[in-house]
Chains A and B, each alone.
Chain A
Amino acid sequence: MTMLINKYVSSAAFALAFSLSLAGCSRRTSPAPAASVRAARGDFSVYDVGGGWRDQTGAVRTLDGLRGTPTVIALMYAHCSSSCPIALATMKRIAATAPGVHFVLVSLDPRRDSPGALAAYASEHGLSSDRWTLLSGQDADVRALAAVLGVRYRWISSDDVAHANALTLVDATGAIVRRQAGFDGTDETIRAARDLTAAAAEAAPRIHDSLNGISQ
């Protein structure tokens, strides 16, 4: 058995290494792990990862505080000039067509992206604070959140971070509903986001009641 596992691990690593060696710089959208995401829903919340954060107003924020609204989460940084503007444009398109969805942008460069820098970025791009939360945190917390979202990143110069252009759509509890890797598949993300807000609207009175129950 152990031998088999060894073989499996070794051959899996070999296959991975091989695919890495063939990999170019494509726009391939990786298939979302739909089955595993479904299986994990209910007791899986990206917000459980925790950490200490500040938003663009300088206010201290927790990830738990983001619960309650379907949300699109992305990692980026303000001075990223290559693909981040396209990622932002994609999110704005989702924002325009799926009202009720919230957006959280987490900085991969918290040293430069102070709350003030994020506020300037939000203002420059017309991101209103009622729908857009821009977060800056410690490196360790950013890495943890990136790990949960499956976003790989690496500093490739003093200015630039190579990172995945991944958008993650979570429901009100923080369960991952859809992960969009790259810029293809935005229509499906919009559909999924609208489904979530529609479901939330139906369930709203019930959630409201239960929240009242908790607060009493």
Chain B
Amino acid sequence: MFTALLTITMLATNAATPTGMVRIPAGSYRPLFATSGAPARVAAFAIDREPVTRGEFLRFVRVNPTWRKSAIKRVFAERSYLSDWRGDLDAGDDSALAQPVNNVSWFAARAYCDAKGQRLPTTDEWEYVAAADEKRRNATSDPAFISRLIAIYTSHRGGFRNVYGVDDLHGQTWELTEDFNSVVVADDSRGTGSGVDARDHGLYCAGAALGATDPSNYPAFLRSAVRAGLTGRSATSHVGFRCAL
């Protein structure tokens, strides 16, 4: 009976995970800017094994002309959108088409995932999966892992398949998340307080969130800084995305 149930559950899980996606089990992780000591819970979800490629994005703009570089509304992307494409439907040769798409805006990335009935991963989901190396779900307390990520970010080389089976989370691109604009920086404070000590403001001041839980996790800090530097319409080299479900 138990085996039968288990089999059914596994079948259901497999059926719910589309080709090219990896099922991620529920768990918890410690956000860099946790407001309390408690780790964040992450529910089970599915995520693309690889970043979305230029070729895949080309197929999207073929059937969704409003997202082509000459047609996109300015509110959705700045002028550098797909600036490394030669034309609306010319994204380069076969090797270029196999590369992760870059110079896409958050709005365009969202529209791409939405068209597939999917969505962008949340920052919590992305960071939860990105804490893994080849063997461990959470390798972030290992200084060697941290050093390795810094080397990858500096060279944009050396991506790997992690223990979940997800490829190149750390590699050529910084990846967009649904709530990228949840990185709250200093002048976003709700308070009008003196700002002498961010922690004094507790819940009422976003600045309190700046007390990173793990200052040694410099790569997580970097990713957070990249997200903080983006707007919904930024279209930047080395920024790409993958979808979740």
Contact = CB atoms under 8 A, between A and B. Distances in A.
B225 A20 contact: yes
Interface string B123-149: 000000000000000000000000000
Contacts of B110: 144
A21 interface: yes
A59 interface: no
B74 A17 contact: no
Interface in B165-201: 174, 178-179, 181-198, 201
Interface stretch (A37-45, A111-119, A206-214): A37-45
A183 B184 contact: no
B229 to A, nearest CB: 5
Interface string A176-189: 00000111000000
Interface in B82-130: 106-107, 110
A80 B182 contact: no
Interface string A139-156: 010011011101111101
A76 to B, nearest CB: 10
A9 B35 CA distance: 28
Contacts of B35: 156-157
A156 B188 CA distance: 13
A25 B208 contact: yes
A24 B154 CA distance: 28
A80 B191 CA distance: 11
Which bracket fits the contact residues of B?
Answer: 35 or more
A156 to B, nearest CB: 5
A23 B184 CA distance: 11
B210 A6 contact: no
B210 A27 contact: no
A182 B190 CA distance: 9
Contact of A163 (B188, B201, B231, B232): B188
B175 to A, nearest CB: 13
Interface in A119-148: 140, 143-144, 146-148
A40 to B, nearest CB: 6
B181 A5 contact: no
A198 interface: no
Contacts of B204: 82-83, 160
Nearest to B173: A9
A152 B190 contact: no
Contacts of A86: 192
Given A46-B75, A147-B231, A156-B209, A25 B221 contact: no
A88 to B, nearest CB: 13
Contacts of B232: 144, 147-148
Interface of B: 35, 73-76, 106-107, 110, 153-156, 174, 178-179, 181-198, 201, 203-210, 218, 221-222, 224-226, 228-229, 231-233, 236-238
Interface of A: 5-6, 9-10, 12-14, 16-17, 20-21, 23-30, 40, 43-46, 48-49, 80, 82-84, 86, 140, 143-144, 146-148, 150-154, 156-157, 160, 162-165, 181-183
3 tightest A-B CB contacts, nearest first: A147-B232, A25-B207, A23-B186
9 contacts: A21-B221, A25-B191, A40-B74, A45-B73, A48-B74, A153-B181, A154-B206, A162-B184, A162-B190
